[in-house]
Amino acid sequence: MKIGIFTDSFRPYTSGVVRSIELFTQEYLKKGHQVYIFGPGAPFSMNKWETHEHESEDGVYRFFAVPVPTFSEYAIPIPVSPQLRATVKKIGLDIIHAHSPFLMGRLGARAAKIFNIPLVFTFHTLYDQYVHYMPLARSASRKVVRVIARDFCNRSDLVIAPSSPVRKYMRKIGVKTGAKVIPTGIDLNEFNNTNNRWLRDNYQIREHEKILLFVGRLGKEKNVVFLLKAFKKVLQHHPHARMVMVGSGPMKNELIKFARSLNIEDKIIFTGLLPRNKVVHCYASADIFTFPSVTETQGLVIGEAKACGLPTVAINAFGTPDMVKKGEDGFLCSPSLEDFSSKVIRLLKDEELYRKMSQNARENSVLLSSSYCADLMLAEYEKLAQTKTAPGSRIKKKRKAKNVKK
């Protein structure tokens, strides 16, 4: 199949959405399919090919992009290209998969309509919780953003939910289009040759210190302030614990100042952005994965941590419960500092419990194979592609009905 992916974010920016696109693309290519990615270039770049070290740009079409004023590492693509129609026609896409209901997603939807190509959309994000990252929608209410996401779902032929709670949320806001739960998997091969001393060797962490790990964007929606407060409580019982925060974001400097105000700055390491091959070493050399976010549609980083045998302590919200087997490979907590910190303390104290959860985490990670998840997605693509040219097909009728309404 020829698969077109339209996204508002792509490497070198790192996020769960970008990682999902990379993993599915990797598996599609292995299985003999062709993938074409339409996404942002470097800020203010007009180049079609934006080469990044050690990464192939074959089949990647970059669009002019401008940086977000409040977060310069993220660039917003301008979804305009006189060549798009000719390019899509020449490629002969079988499926268009949008990963945003906004800029590039809408461009992909337009191409799908013009060429009668099935449109798939993944509901990656609780968009109403992220309006502070969307300058074009910042003045809009959360209700308006929910309506935009809902309407985009309803113009798609299939919507993918990364977890079952997200599918329930979609129905709640009025999504009528058929929806399938297909999580983003993890590439288990990435974790075969990891260095379990990498953090200690590179950040001078002593042997007797236990390492708590967070991997993700340092932004408001990740609830990292809560994590720092909880960590301070942990230190009262385990003064030799260390917290490593892998990632960057608009709140990084604010979080560093906040850690200083709590008098725990010497116990926290902010690594900043790290290349992927270093991130896997961070997982391998940590002891416990901590995840305070309450807005996750899946929480892919939890699966990655499990692949390295890390028990997880996370807040029980939205998609996270699909990733943590409560009491088996981690703990799901209420959004209270006392509950969260007490679960971390319990893992640090109880060596036998820690050992069992670590083993279970590694074993359960096999259920998140990226190859298996890609097979599930490809099966849905095939069903839609078969209806594209079928007489009286649902897709043709759907598009015709939309044209009549207009």
173: pLDDT strictly greater than 70: yes
Q: What is the pLDDT of residue 232?
A: 98
Structure tokens at 251: 């709140």
Instruction: Give the pLDDT score at 70.
Output: 67
3-state secondary structure of 141: coil
CB 122 within 8 A of CB 5: no
What percent of the chain is modeled with pLDDT above 70? 87
pLDDT digits (tens, 9 = 90+) for 115-151: 999 999 999 988 766 555 555 545 556 788 889 999 9
Q: What is the pLDDT of residues 387-399, one digit of tens each?
A: 865 554 555 555 5
Q: Which two tokens stand for residue 140?
A: 């809009």
- pLDDT over 50 (residue 49): no
pLDDT digits (tens, 9 = 90+) for 51-69: 444 456 889 999 999 887 7
Q: Domains in the chain, ordered, with CATH?
A: 2-185+370-405 (3.40.50.2000), 188-368 (3.40.50.2000)
The arithmetic mean of pLDDT across residues 23-27, rounded, is 96
Phi-psi region of 161 (alpha: psi -120 to 50; beta: other; left: phi over 0): beta
Rounded to an integer, the average pLDDT of 3-18 is: 91
219, 225, 230, 233 alpha-carbon torsion, rounded to 10°: 140
Which amino acid is located at 161 in the chain?
A
As a residue count, the chain comes to 406
pLDDT digits (tens, 9 = 90+) for 233-256: 999 999 999 999 999 998 999 999
Predicted pLDDT at 53: 44
The mean predicted confidence, pLDDT, of the chain is 89
Q: What is the pLDDT of residue 244?
A: 98
Q: How confident is the model at residue 405 (pLDDT cuts 50, 70, 90)?
A: very low
Contact 195, 34 (CB under 8 A): no
pLDDT number for residue 125:
83
Mean pLDDT confidence for 324-351: 97
- Which among 356, 403, 340, 380 has a CA at the least distance from the CA of 118? 380
Q: What is the pLDDT of residues 71-101, one digit of tens each?
A: 667 788 999 999 999 999 999 999 999 999 9
How far is CA 373 from each of CA 5, 100, 251, 276, 379, rounded to the nearest angstrom? 17, 20, 33, 21, 10
Residue 337 pLDDT exceeds 70: yes
Residue 311: pLDDT over 90: yes
